[in-house]
Chains A and B, each alone.
Chain A
Amino acid sequence: MNCKQFVELVTDYFEGALSNEDVQRFEEHIDDCFWCERYLEQMRTTIDSAGRIDEDSISPDAKDSLLHAFRDWHSGQQPQVREPG
């Protein structure tokens, strides 16, 4: 396995989609190649950082209209109470 091939297999490696032989060749390559070890680490950092992008918060107006929709939906769900008589 060379470096050009290595970089194409990183996701398959993370996802457990490689054959046992390919896992072995992949890991042997990491042991021998300082740059690919670094590359693999950078892919981990990329995935990890993507999961920690601070999210934009929802606007108060949009929240308000969703809350109203929720109240309407819930009152529509309730069985209608009949006045006796």
Chain B
Amino acid sequence: MPAPRAMALPDAEIVAALKRGDEAVFMDLVDAYTPGLMRMAQTVVGDPAAADEIVQEAWFAALRGIDGFDGRSSLKAWVFRVLLNTAKARDSHSIAFSAAVGETEPAVDPDRFLGPNHRFPGGWMMAPSEWHGPDDEFVRGEIRASILRAIDQLSEAQRAVITMRDVEGFPAEEVSAALGISDGTQRVLLHRARSRVRGAIETQLGAVEPNTFALEHS
């Protein structure tokens, strides 16, 4: 799908077009942002039907509040923030970001590394093997399916962060600001989420190999 035309415009011009009542620009905006907004809404409320309503409400709220957009963040980040506020207003539960960071969670199963008494402590025992042909259509499909499943299985806090950062492509500062978390918390959650998603792809592809050299030289 080609990028909608209006998305090439600077945010200020998009806002001006909305105020003029330019329906084409509004529909381009809807096409461009709604899938990501849906993903975010589902992260916050879980239920797809409720997420659908929240996205609609968020669009209404964004139009009503358009004068409040001051250009300090991108328009997209602002619309996402409206969505998060809309979701919060409906559903008193909020995501436990700080609690999520408190728990330790290694990026890779510790059993895959050599133990402290080995000649190479902390080295790979069961190492990552190559993802054959990530350019191959089939492998790409497998990777995509693994990512979607893995993101679904993350904690809410991790899912919110990876959705905004890696799926939607927001910069770190906008994600921290929209979610109301520190840069450090954002980074920890992002790291765990990415590590889990990488692990899910690896499992799907069966891409693990023993480090025979280290195992033979223990």
Interface residues of A (CB under 8 A from B): 2-5, 7-8, 10-12, 15, 17, 35-36, 38-39, 42-43, 45-47, 49-51, 53-58, 62-63, 65-67, 69-71, 73-74, 77
Contact = CB atoms under 8 A, between A and B. Distances in A.
B197 A7 contact: no
B23 interface: yes
Given A3-B122, A46-B147, A73-B64, A66 B59 contact: yes
B34 to A, nearest CB: 4
Contacts of A56: 35, 38
A73 B63 contact: yes
Given A2-B123, A3-B113, A45-B134, A53 B56 contact: no
Interface in B99-135: 106-108, 110, 113, 120-124, 127-131, 134
Interface residues of B, number: 56
A49 B131 contact: no
A47 B166 contact: yes
B147 A5 contact: no
Main secondary structure of the interface of B (DSSP, over half): helix
List 6 tightest A-B contacts by C-beta distance, closest first. Answer: A2-B122, A55-B35, A11-B191, A74-B21, A4-B122, A50-B166
B201 A8 contact: no
Contacts, number: 128
Contacts of B26: 66-67, 70
B63 A10 contact: no
A69 B122 contact: no
26 contacts: A2-B120, A2-B121, A4-B110, A4-B122, A7-B107, A10-B107, A10-B195, A11-B190, A12-B187, A35-B128, A36-B124, A46-B166, A49-B140, A50-B167, A50-B197, A53-B167, A58-B30, A58-B31, A58-B34, A62-B52, A62-B55, A63-B30, A69-B56, A69-B63, A73-B63, A73-B64
